[in-house]
Structure formats: structure tokens, C-alpha cells
A and B are shown apart, each in its own frame.
Chain A
Amino acid sequence: EAGVAQSPRYKIIEKRQSVAFWCNPISGHATLYWYQQILGQGPKLLIQFQNNGVVDDSQLPKDRFSAERLKGVDSTLKIQPAKLEDSAVYLCASSLEDRPDTQYFGPGTRLTVL
């Protein structure tokens, strides 16, 4: 079974630029999560999708971050414009709809904002 795929693995941009991350969840997983992990901290949930609907985006900085999952499979997370404090690893995870207790994580995208 293929795992959660993310790309790119690494991205370096300058502040005020835009960036987008892509995630392909495990086949059949209706629930998809985006987490932000700042160096030295645990991951923090940014947004949770159930199919193509948003379940929880309470911690997403909506003035600069956006995410979509148009067809209920792949998802993109965008930052526009980026700030220095957005430097982090962005992790995507997925789970079966009725098993939120078992989330599978991708390798993450490491973003550096200069």
C-alpha cells in the first residue's frame, strides 16, 4: 500500500513570495489533514478535510493560508504572501473516515522563508 505522498520535499523562498504544497493521501482515505511543525515543536493542525469539505480550519491563518481538496482526493496548501515565521515543516496526513484514531503521515515539506 502506497503511503501519503507530498511534494516538494524542500522549498526555499523569500518573504512576501507565494508557495504551494501538494499532498496525495492513501487511496480510500476520506479524511485529510495539514499540520504545521515549527522547529522544536510538535505538529499543529491547520486544516482537516472530510472528502472535499472542511471539518476544522480554526487554526488556519486565513489572511495568508488557503487549502483546497476539490475532488476529495489530492489537496494543495498555499501561502500567499509568506512571512519569516512560516518557516516550518508542513505535514500531510490521512485516515479512513471512521478511523480518525489512525492517521498516516507523509514525509513533509520543509519550507524556509528568507
Chain B
Amino acid sequence: GEDVEQSLFLSVREGDSSVINCTYTDSSSTYLYWYKQEPGAGLQLLTYIFSNMDMKQDQRLTVLLNKKDKHLSLRIADTQTGDSAIYFCAESSPSNTGKLIFGQGTTLQVKP
């Protein structure tokens, strides 16, 4: 079945690195995503990774994928107060790549 799990809360100090973790169940997912949601706003796609990749880097963001353990992580370098938000991990359904299965979200709190 399709299921995505995340830890609920992470607190870091400004300037530190943040690592948000996610586990998923369906090994045949094609894409894995990270979305950001700020209060009262819709979801913003941060980055995604193809299932045949191990790592993807995009400026301050690094995504690591461990297919064997079905584990996905998002590292934010030099975390800023503007990074405070809810971060959602999602996988695409193998039967329908447009259907996203989301985790419950990780609230990132950045303290000055």
C-alpha cells in the first residue's frame, strides 16, 4: 500500500542545518517530492528526485534517497527564519504519476 511517514516537529537555530526525514512504503514510486507550506498558503514545490537517483542538490537544499530503506531526507543548509514552515514529503502513485501521496508534514521552527 501507499503510505508516507514523517516526524511532526523540528526546531533548529538560525544558521544551523536542518534535516527533515521521511519514510515511504511503495518502492515502485517514480518520483519523490518535498513541498513547503507557509501559514495560510498553498503548497510550494521545493524539489523532487527521480527514484533512480541517490542525491540531488539545489542551492541550500540537498535531497538524499535511500531506496533500500525507503528513506528520503531533505537537508537545508544555513537555515533562516524564513524557512519556518511545514514541509511535506510526497511520493507519486505507481499507477498514476499525477497522484501524490503526502506525509503528514514536519513543522520546522527556526529560532533566531
B: residues with CB less than 8 A from A are 4, 31, 33, 40-45, 48, 88, 90, 92, 96-100, 102-105
Kindly count the residue-residue contacts between A and B in the assembled complex, taking CB atoms under 8 Å apart: 57
On whether A41 and B104 interact (CB within 8 A), knowing A105-B42, A106-B42, the answer reads yes
On whether A100 and B97 interact (CB within 8 A), knowing A41-B104, A42-B103, the answer reads yes
A97 to chain B, nearest CB (A): 10
A: residues with CB less than 8 A from B are 4, 31, 33, 40-45, 48, 55-56, 91, 93, 95, 100-108
Contact B103 A107 (CB under 8 A): no
A41 to chain B, nearest CB (A): 5
Report the separation of the CA atoms of residues A105 and B42 in the bound assembly, to the nearest whole angstrom: 6
Can you name the residue of chain A whose Cβ is closest to the Cβ of B90?
A: A42
Enumerate chain A residues within 8 angstroms of B103, measured Cβ to Cβ: 42
B11 to chain A, nearest CB (A): 18
